[in-house]
């Protein structure tokens, strides 16, 4: 009876942990890199919702006019190059002719050069320049940018608004991928499975041994 109860709790725990495990990153959410500049009468703020890591990163751009009111209808494009290879405004402008097909939030973090080539195909992380467009939301402009390697990057924000082109650079320190997070998940996985196996070994029914026959004399 007690074993059945333990088993039920275990299965409930597993069922509850599923959706929680499916939320990568939500538990780690806290402010990341970015900054604010005032340019052409507008205040442009770039913020990452989490510390930038190698991989996909959600960013948020807010544009306030001279009155401090959010500006709507702007076209916002973010590009990033590694600081080592960057020349201000030049490296980030490379590949701008290849901007079609960048709309759409999901999977919008396409690499520069489109999808035809296999950029960054080496085991050692290569800092591949990227460029994505941001979608307008109620609170500003959001998008996802894929940064291929850890290190120092230069993020350039291009804003087209009211026939004005605003450009601002932000330095960004990118941490190495989510390996610590992945290690934590792996550790949890191993721990949980070890517990299940241990519990199963405890609850395993022992084979019934035949009773020794008593010789009647």
Partner 1 sequence: MTVPSPNSAPSWVAEVNLLNNKWVYRFFRSRWYPGIIQWPTLAVFVVILFDLMLGPTVTHDNFGSALTWVLWWPVIPIIFLFMGRFWCAICPFATVNDLVQNFVGNHRPVPQLLKKYGVWIIDALFIFITWADHVWGIVDNPVGSGILLLMLTTGVVASGAFFERRMFCRHLCFLGGLAGNYAQAGMVSLHGTPEVCAKCTTASCYKGTETAPGCPIFEFPKTMQSSANCVLCGDCIKNCPNGSIQLTVRPPTKGLWLVHKPRVEAAFLAAVIMGIVFVQNVTMLEIWGSMLSWLEKATGTASYYVNFTITFAVAIALPVSLLASASFVAAKCNKASFVDNFTRFGYAIIAFDLAAHIAHNLFHLLAEGKSVLYTGLAMFGVDSHGASPALAGMATIQTLQFGLLGLGFLGSLYIVYRTANFNYQGNVVWATFMPYAVLMGCLGLLNVVLFTLPMSMRM
| Cβ–Cβ < 8 Å for 205, 12 | no
Of residues 17 through 76, those in contact with partner 1 by CB under 8 A are 18, 21-24, 53-56
Residue 129, CA distances (Å) to 94, 95, 159 in order: 8, 9, 18
- Report the candidate in 155, 165, 171 with the shortest Cα–Cα distance to residue 40: 165
Residue 118 is a binding residue for partner 1 (CB under 8 A)? yes
- Report the candidate in 5, 15, 68, 40 with the shortest Cα–Cα distance to residue 203: 5
Residue 9 is a binding residue for partner 1 (CB under 8 A)? no
Residue with smaller CB distance to partner 1, 22 or 216: 22
Stretch of 28-36, 40-48, 74-82, 96-104 lying at the interface with partner 1 (CB under 8 A): 96-104
Residue 189 is a binding residue for partner 1 (CB under 8 A)? yes
Stretch of 10-18, 29-37, 63-71, 159-167 lying at the interface with partner 1 (CB under 8 A): 10-18
Long-range contacts of 116-119 (CB under 8 A, 24+ apart): none
- Measured from the CB of residue 25, what is the shortest distance to partner 1 in angstroms? 9
- Give the Cα separation of 19 and 9 in Å (integer): 17
12: left (phi over 0), alpha (psi -120 to 50) or beta: alpha
Residue with smaller CB distance to partner 1, 165 or 182: 182
Which run of H or E residues covers position 47? strand 42-48
111: left (phi over 0), alpha (psi -120 to 50) or beta: beta
Interface with partner 1 (CB under 8 A), residue from 71, 79, 148, 156? 148
Across the beta sheet with 140-147, the strand order is: 34-39, 42-48, 55-64, 140-147, 135-137
Residue 123 is a binding residue for partner 1 (CB under 8 A)? yes
Residue 208 is a binding residue for partner 1 (CB under 8 A)? no
Stretch of 36-44, 71-79, 131-139, 207-215 lying at the interface with partner 1 (CB under 8 A): 131-139
Q: What are the residues binding partner 1 (CB under 8 A)?
A: 7, 10-11, 14, 18, 21-24, 53-56, 101, 103-108, 110-111, 113, 115-125, 135-138, 142, 146, 148, 177-179, 181-183, 185-186, 189, 192-193, 196-197, 199-201, 203-205
């Amino acid at each position: 009876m007690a074993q059945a109860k333990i088993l039920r709790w275990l299965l409930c725990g597993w069922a509850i942990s599923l959706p929680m495990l499916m939320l990568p990153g939500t538990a780690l959410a806290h402010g990341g890199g970015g900054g604010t500049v005032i340019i052409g009468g507008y205040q442009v703020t770039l913020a990452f919702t989490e510390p930038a890591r190698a991989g996909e990163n959600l960013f948020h751009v807010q544009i306030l006019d001279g009155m401090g009111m959010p500006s709507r209808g702007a076209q916002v494009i973010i590009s990033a190059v590694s600081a080592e290879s960057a020349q201000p405004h030049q490296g980030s402008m490379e590949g701008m002719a290849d901007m079609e097909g960048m709309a759409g939030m999901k999977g919008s973090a396409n690499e520069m050069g489109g999808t035809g080539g296999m950029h960054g195909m080496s085991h050692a992380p290569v800092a591949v320049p990227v460029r994505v467009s941001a979608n307008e939301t109620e609170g500003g402009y959001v998008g996802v940018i894929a940064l291929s390697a850890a290190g120092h990057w230069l993020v350039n924000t291009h804003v087209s608004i009211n026939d004005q082109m605003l450009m601002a650079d932000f330095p960004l320190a990118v941490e190495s991928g989510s390996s610590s997070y992945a290690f934590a998940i792996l550790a949890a996985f191993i721990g949980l499975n070890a517990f299940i196996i241990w519990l199963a070994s405890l609850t395993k029914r022992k084979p019934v041994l035949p009773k020794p026959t008593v010789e009647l004399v």
